[in-house]
Amino acid sequence: MTTTDGRGSHVSLVHRNWPVEHEVYDVQPKEWCCELSDNCEYFSFLRPVDYCWGYMPPFIGWMFGDPHIRTLDGFGYTFNGLGEYTLVETTHDNFTLQGRTAKARDANGTETDATVFSAFAARDVDSDTVHIGMNATRDGMCHDNYVLNLCAIGLVCVGV
Same domain, 46 and 81: no
**pLDDT in the model for residue 47:** 82
154 lies in some domain: no
Boundary-marking domain end, from 33, 55, 77: 55
- The answer to whether position 159 is within a domain reads no
Q: Are residues 8 and 30 both part of a single domain?
A: yes
Do residues 10 and 30 both lie within one domain? yes
CATH number of the domain to which 74 belongs: 3.40.1000.10
Low-confidence ranges of the chain (pLDDT < 50): 1-16, 153-160
Nearest CA to 72 among 62, 61, 84? 61
| pTM beyond 0.75 | no
Domain that residue 118 falls in: 62-148
The amino acid sitting at 158 is V
What does the pLDDT look like over 2-29, one tens digit per residue?
Answer: 334 444 433 334 444 556 777 887 888 8
